[in-house]
Structure 1
Amino acid sequence: MRLTRTLCAAAALLAVATAGPPAHAARANPPKIPTVFLGDAFVAGWGIAPVDPGALLCVRAKENLPDVVEDQLADQSILLDITADVSCAGAALHHVWQEQDLGGGEVAAPQKRALTKRTELVVAGLGAGTAGWGQILKQCSQRLRGTEGSHLPDLPVDAGSPAGQCAAYFARGVGARWLEQRFEQTGKDLDKLFSEIASESPSARTVLVGYPRLVPEDRGRCRTPLPDSAERPLADVPESAWDFLDSKVQARLNSLMAAKAEQHHAHFVDLYATTGTATACDGTDRSAGGLLEPSAVTLLHQRLPWLLAANETGRDGNGDTVAQSIAAMYGRGPA
């Protein structure tokens, strides 16, 4: 009888040893998702200090949007293995498959080289550069055409047309045709973006992140100077251009990105819809720096202007929204 009890106890111990960890332990340690972030200054964290010393020419912050997304998802037991963050200021969509000139003979490799067959999640935030956002800003700001805009390498579409008349310039004639061509190219390059991702990482889920809103619905807030400054959030961009920048450029780009994501069965994060009350025009609550407001980053002995990029508050808020959207995609939390 004693031998029987001993054999039964041994069998029970063997069963426990071979059964592996209990179910709750397995859930506590989910597998990490091999993830790659592609993007421009928005993803890289333009203006946020400190800058990653290994990505100085890309002005990539040490703690940028991918870091916030990773941390927020970890709180929901969705663990990312970020194998690469190749976001770089100045990147356009074609820099996913072509080199990016960083100046001084330096180049950034095509961002798609970070993708592999084992990549399971790709998060991309590009499109504004291809749509000509930098050129449009310089068409609408005389100050950006001068030394204050030296870190924005784009040229105005037509330097002979006054900055104060930029809305009228883009409403007809050469300016209108140029804008249509930029959006047509953006659509084509978005198609190619999804094609390149599918080719390099056929098993990956793709997330396309839209841009936060820059001009609020209540335009009057943009007439109030920045805190402790006489500078207005949109600097010398004429009020006649505010509606154009919002509805004809940014909202249109957001809609195009959403449509292309749906067409290619990708997941779209609509930041434009959720950020209209915390723009650069919102004083101490602003989530973006003013157009010519000095940022925290110094490059080549010059303080970089924010250029309406997300500050730390905006980065954290945008990252949280992106993380919540990705979590919903994986079946966690509300859609």
Structure 2
Amino acid sequence: MGLRSWAWTAAASLTAVVGAGVSGVESTGAAGKVPTVFLGDASIGSFGIAPVDGDALLCVRAAENLPDVVEDQLADQAILLDITADVSCAGARLNHVWEEQDLGGGLTAAPQKRALTKDTRLVVVGLGAETAGLDRVLSQCSVRLRGPEGALLPDAPVDAKSPAGECAAYFSNGAGAAWLEARFEETAKDLDKLFSEIGSESPSADVVMVGYPRLVPEDRERCRTELPGGAGRPLADVPEAAWPVLDDKVQARLNTLMAAKARRHGARFVDLYATTGAATACDGTDRAVGGLLEPSGVTLHHQTFPWFLRANETGRDGNGDTVAQSIAAMYGRGPA
């Protein structure tokens, strides 16, 4: 609730949630353009990249986010999108496609599926990490995230009584392993429902599911190197024993699940995990992911947001280009 509570304080002067819900969405795109809707969480909204869109403050959505990059890249290939809605919102889970998202202070974001219409022809969606519990795993494994520095994360540790330094064992045995298994069972069910909801609202739309970029490289030695600028280690105080948990038990497993569900439902899957292994949070000046608790570019009300292992500007641009290439291939441009 930290992020949402802060956002309510920062936006207390607003009389309504702007940009979080959907109102007045056009049902048809401009002539020659593809009516397109983006659904998603912070990975689509580009959390941490300044400036923040003033009409989507509570969702901490960047003014120039991944959809903007995708649109620009496709325009260069003469594929024009009419983005009728971008309802991506930090902290969104899969169920927020069909349920309201609590933003704190009694404010909510409307169910994201309200952006969809019968005239929508392309749906790009990036959701799943929050449902699978990525941020709760991070909080479980970090003393710093359990303190004031983690106040802006939307989720608390799974079990605050279990020491952060023992989180690798916690998620490998007993209660933590059972919790993680339950999260993935729910994620699998919610992914099926996601595609069903999209199909019901926009039966003629092509669907593109965007995976998540890799956070921890295969060569984990690189994660021992300090971030440029003296911002600490890329994974902050997450124990080295937990790095495989973050990568294998959460990220790789989620990527595999998302890819399988996309195939099952006839959607296109953009495998960012497979293409970003050389630009993880642990790759120094080449990193495309902000290091855990590294200061981001967003400062609101004199408070700087830290990165929570989200794509930085380099990552946004690279990921957007990869998504655009995948969409272009759907339209017969470039490799399939």
TM-score under structure 2 length normalisation: 0.90
Question: How many Å separate the matches in 2 of 1:290 and 1:164?
Answer: 19
Q: Note the C-alpha offset of 1:153.
A: 2.3
Q: Secondary structure at the match of 1:143?
A: helix
Aligned counterpart, 2:214? 213
Q: After TM superposition, list the pairs within 5 Å mapping 1:157-196 onto structure 2.
A: 157-196=158-197
Q: Does 1:319 align with 2:304?
A: no
For 1:44-83, what per-residue CA distance to the aligned partner results, in whole angstroms no more than 9, with x for missing partners? 0100000000000100001000000000011111100000
Letter aligned with residue 164 of structure 2: A
Q: d(CA) in 2 for partners of 1:246 and 1:92? A: 20
Q: Who is 1:15 aligned against?
A: none
Q: 1:130 corresponds to which residue?
A: 131
Bigger Cα Rg: 1
Look up the match of 2:281: 280
Cα 1:89–1:230 change in 2 (3 A) is closer
Within 5 Å, which residues of 2 pair with 1:6-45?
Answer: 31-45=32-46
Whole-angstrom distance in 2 between the partners of 1:224 and 1:230: 11
Query: 1:270 aligns to what?
Result: 271
CA contact 1:226–1:290 (8 Å) conserved in 2? yes
Aligned mates of 1:230, 1:48 — CA distance in 2: 17
Q: For residue 245 of structure 1, report the CA deviation from its aligned partner.
A: 0.7
CA distance in 2, matches of 1:305, 1:184: 30
Match for 2:196: what amino acid? S
Find the residue that maps to 1:137 and give its secondary structure. Answer: helix
1:270-298 CA-partner distances (Å, limit 9, x unpaired): 00000010011111111111100010112
% identical equivalent positions: 78
Aligned residue for 1:225? 226
Match of 2:239, as an amino acid? Answer: P
Contact 2:40 2:92 in 1 (8 A): yes
Map of 2:297 onto structure 1: 296
Moved over 2 A (4+): none
Structure 1 pair 165–259 and aligned structure 2 pair: CA distance change class (3 A): same
Tell me the equivalent position of 1:144.
145
Superposed CA deviations along residues 111-170 of structure 1, whole A, max 9, x for unmatched, are 000000000000000000000111111001110011000000211000011111111001
> Which residue number in structure 2 is paired with residue 6 of structure 1?
none
- Residues 300-329 of structure 1: CA deviation (Å, up to 9, x unaligned): 431111111111110000000000011111
Task: Report SS of the residue matched to 1:313.
Answer: helix
The whole-number CA distance in structure 1 between the counterparts of 2:254 and 2:281 is 19
Q: How many residues align?
A: 307
Q: What's the counterpart of residue 247 of structure 1?
A: 248
Instruction: Tell whether the 8 Å contact from 1:292 to 1:307 is kept in structure 2 after alignment.
Output: yes
Once the two structures are overlaid, the 10-residue window that deviates more, 68-77 or 300-309, is 300-309
Distance 1:65 1:225 in 2: 28
Matches of 2:91 and 2:301 in 1, distance apart? 17
Matched, 1:203 2:204: yes
**TM norm structure 1:** 0.90
Paired residue for 1:256? 257
Mapped to 2, the partners of 1:96 and 1:112 lie a distance apart of 5
1:299 offset after TM fit, Å? 3.1
Separation of aligned partners in 1, 2:107 and 2:312: 27
- Given that 2:129 and 2:254 are in contact with CA atoms closer than 8 Å, whether structure 1 keeps it comes out as yes
- Counterpart CA distance in 1 for 2:213 and 2:328 is 19
Where in structure 2 are there 5+ consecutive unaligned residues?
A: 1-29
Q: How does 1:111-126 map to 2 (within 5 A)?
A: 111-126=112-127
| Code of the aligned partner of 1:282 | D
Alpha-carbon distance between aligned partners in 2 of 1:97 and 1:41, rounded to the nearest angstrom: 18
Report the counterpart of residue 101 of structure 1 in structure 2: 102
Q: Hey, what does 1:66 align to over in structure 2?
A: 67
CA RMSD of aligned residues (A): 1.1
- Verify the 8 A CA contact 1:30 1:79 in the aligned structure 2: no
Match of 1:19 in 2: none
